[in-house]
Amino acid sequence: MSQARNTQRGITMTLESESNNKATLDEIEGLGVYQVYTGGGTGSGFLLDERHLLTNCHVVAPYGQVAVELRDRTRIVGTVRRIHPRRDLAILELARPVDGVVLELGNSEQLKSKQAVYILGFPVGLPLSVTEGVISHSRQLLDDQYYVQTDAAINPGNSGGPMLDEHKRVIAVTTCKLSAADAVGFGIPINDVVAFIADFRAQLSPFGVQCPACDELIERAVRYCPSCGLDLETHHDFADYFDTPDLHPLVEFVETALKSAAIDPVLARHGHQNWSFHSGSAPIKIWCCCSEHLNFSSPMVQTGNRGLNELFKFLLSAEHAPFSFDLNSTNVRMNLVIHTSDVYARLEHLTLSDRVRQFINAADQTDSLLIRDFGCQPAPETQLDVLSAHSGLVMPCLGALQPDAALQK
């Protein structure tokens, strides 16, 4: 797939309208487009107002609550209020108001082929970015539904984000691409989205799922649609929208341990058997890399220019067991590894859960110690404001920090 032009923080992209007047899409960080995290993966979404976010159904289902990450990397809970599985739309109610710019909604009936289109989102977990292309077909029929087809780059993580025209109006919601072809992506036309939003505004129940045949709002798990009589059991996952998904034993263990450490597991979810959050200033990452090991890691600091012998002696000391340290480029990471057989046995759950809690607490204390006593610098993902407030340290300019050598989960 050819690479489309990207725009990220601090870069201004010039858009040309049909009348050759120029507008700018700059400071995209201020736009109300945010990353959505669940136990199944990540996606994008955009504000309808300060308390509601629109995204794809496939981004959030089957979870009733998901995490929405704001630009300062804090996360808030989004509660799923309405979904339309067939049209792949969902609306979340946010735990608190968000002050991002609410994008204007356009009119998909006015779209034309070769018209410029810009896709905002979080491809493959990267920061907010935009890709540029054109409308290949303004009303493409696919699986008995109409879509806006585009050649703009769409990647995992873009789902649920807005497609914009040259006037920064939302003309479609990014939903999918053809994996067997290059530069063939699709968005849900904004006029269909507007109708979905209008129905939500009139909704009285806390949650509902639209019937795949007649669009009737169904508020509880039933076999037949009360409006058209469709046998909903023929749609094998329909009842799942009303149930809390069963947790895998590894997921159940990790999320129970997180609760014991006062970490909200909904806010920590970062995809399939993957979690990320901060313990004070220290970033924590949890994942299962194989069938045998559950990994806990905190990339907490970068090595400094002095006292390296003393630093390495400290890091290699046996006194840290069962925790250990390693070095990834210049990044010092504290680690804990748990064998999955111990998790499945369940007999050691209390002991292991306490070990996880100790690891989380130790990470928050150790990054300050390494900076204060060994001349280390904060890691790229360290929350500097929390670190400074808790330790009284004066943080160096971010520009002085070395970039991370490799992207990590």
pLDDT tens per residue across span 266-302: 999 999 999 999 999 999 999 998 889 999 999 999 9
Is the same domain home to 291 and 169?
no
| pLDDT exceeds cutoff 80 at 23 | no
The whole model's pTM is what? 0.85
**Which residues span the domain enclosing 390?**
249-400
The rounded distance, in Å, linking the Cα atoms of 152 and 171 is 14
Q: Within a domain: residue 320?
A: yes
Is the same domain home to 173 and 264?
no
Is the same domain home to 173 and 312?
no
Encode pLDDT of 318-354 as tens digits.
999 999 999 999 999 999 999 999 999 888 899 999 9
Q: Which of 190, 212, 232 is the last residue of a domain?
A: 190
What whole-number percentage of the chain has pLDDT above 90?
A: 77
Q: Name the domain count of the chain.
A: 2
Helix (H) or strand (E) holding 200: helix 190-201
Is the same domain home to 17 and 165?
yes
Q: Which of 156, 190, 224 is the last residue of a domain?
A: 190
| pLDDT exceeds cutoff 80 at 26 | no
Is the same domain home to 356 and 264?
yes
Is the same domain home to 265 and 389?
yes
The rounded distance, in Å, linking the Cα atoms of 60 and 67 is 10
pLDDT of the residue at 10? 33
Q: Within a domain: residue 226?
A: no
Is the same domain home to 150 and 12?
yes
Encode pLDDT of 141-162 as tens digits.
999 999 999 999 999 999 999 9
Q: Within a domain: residue 265?
A: yes
pLDDT of the residue at 4? 36
Q: Which of 190, 214, 235 is the last residue of a domain?
A: 190
- Picking from 137, 177, 222, the residue whose alpha carbon sits closest to that of residue 4 is 177
Do 197 and 149 touch, CB atoms closer than 8 A? no
What DSSP character marks residue 84? E
pLDDT of the residue at 391? 53
Q: Within a domain: residue 87?
A: yes
Structural tokens at position 42? 């990540």
Give the CATH number for residue 264: 3.30.1460.10
Is the same domain home to 41 and 166?
yes
Give the CATH number for residue 86: 2.40.10.120
Is the same domain home to 158 and 262?
no
Q: Within a domain: residue 103?
A: yes
